[in-house]
Amino acid sequence: MTVLSYMDAITLAMKEEMERDERVFILGEDVGVKGGVFKATQGLYEQFGEERVIDTPLAESAIVGVGVGAAMYGLRPIAEMQFADFIMPAVNQIISEASKIRYRSDNDWSCPMVIRAPFGGGVHGALYHSQSVEAVFANQPGLKIVIPSTPYDAKGLLKAAIRDDDPVLFFEHKRAYRLIKDDVPDDDYTIEIGKADVKREGEDVTVITYGLCVHFALQAAERLEKDGIDVHILDLRTIYPLDQEAIIKAAKKTGKVLLITEDTKEGSVMSEVAAIIAEYALFDLDAPIKRLAGPDVPAMPYAPTMEKFFMMNPEKVEQAIRELAEF
């Protein structure tokens, strides 16, 4: 076991996979000599050279589209979007192309690639360096979307994503990069994509969330324990396709469900989670499903007052759980 940051776990996953499989390579802006603007690819250029850690022109559609071509040929590209906010020029390549290659060719061609993108707020990133854009992609069969919350999960899930035979969109919470540290096994392990994970067992209120919000929920749960409120926390880990079985089981366990996302509320991933619970577990509920999310404004503002107002935090989560517990 080694204590690794969320960032180090991601770098290590790529390093190990590139050592294991020469088909794996990285392309993106500033990923080479600089090692990435967040340093996620630090050391990889030195170890694997400029042919496998490619600094590309600043053009997101080409970064993904060239990756799609290389993946169709049989390589295993990891395309980095510098910020999830800048993925929009590549949406056509992700939704019209990568996600549909296998289906449209009736299994003749496939597109085994990973698209990594740092997302999320609380870093003074303003509108265009703070967004949660996963809901834009979370209704596209053919695509898988993974959002790890811990270094352990990040390493295992990223390795699984690189080995996956289909395209995986891998969102990394940028505030978690250095904030979250964890014991990570030194051995080679993967975590199955599509499986949610219980991060805390509890009996009174169920929280279902993903990404950095998992940690806010864990902190809130710790405080609430002193008041006798026992919180159950399910980390989705894969937000598309969702682990319906785990969601239903977690909802039924306590009968009171809080769904948390840092994204804006309407049309978020949590709207779909709420629909699954309503469809399959309504009569096991003891309180209406509660969603806690960002306000429905275009994106997170810059000034600290407004950023704090928008951003999720343990206090907001604690308050929401308390309300549910008292229902």
Partner 1 sequence: MTENRHAVSGLSDEDVLNMYRTMLLARRIDERMWLLNRAGKIPFVISCQGQEATQVGAAFALDQKKDYIAPYYRDLAVVLHFGMTTKELMLSAFAKAEDPNSGGKQMPGHFGQKKNRIITGSSPVTTQVPHAVGVALAGKMQKKDFVTFVTLGEGSSNQGDFHEGANFAGVHKLPVIIMIENNRYAISVPLKKQFACEKLSDRAAGYGMPGVTVNGDDPIEVYKAVKEAADRAREGKGPSLIETVCYRLTAHSSDDDQRQYRSEEDLAEGRAHDPVKSFANYLKELNILTPEIEEKFQNDIMAEIDEATEYAEQAPYAAPEHALKYVYAEQEEL
Q: Which is nearer to partner 1, 52 or 256 (CB)?
A: 52
For residue 39, give the nearest of 14, 17, 70, 75 by alpha carbon. Answer: 14
Distance (Å, whole) CA 265 – CA 88 = 20
Phi, psi of 183 (to 5 degrees): -75, 125
Task: Name the residue nearer to partner 1 (CB basis): 54 or 259.
Answer: 54
The rounded distance, in Å, linking the Cα atoms of 142 and 11 is: 26
129 is a catalytic site residue: yes
Which residue, 208 or 239, has its beta carbon nearer to partner 1? 239
DSSP state of 175: T
Closest separation between CB of residue 227 and partner 1, Å?
Answer: 44
> Cβ 73 to partner 1, closest distance in Å?
4
129, 173, 215, 232: the active-site residue: 129
Cβ 189 vs Cβ 240: under 8 Å: no
Residue (of 258, 274, 252, 251) closest to 318 by Cα position: 258
Bond from prior residue into 241 cis (ω within 30 degrees of 0)? yes
Sign of CA dihedral 248, 145, 82, 55: positive
Least separation in angstroms between CB 23 and partner 1: 9
Interface residues with partner 1 (CB under 8 A) are: 25, 51-52, 54, 56-57, 59, 61-62, 64-75, 77, 89, 92-93, 96-97, 100-110, 141-142, 144, 164-166
294 DSSP β-pair partners? 264
Q: Which is nearer to partner 1, 72 or 198 (CB)?
A: 72
Closest approach of Cβ 55 to partner 1, in Å? 10
Return the active site residues: 129
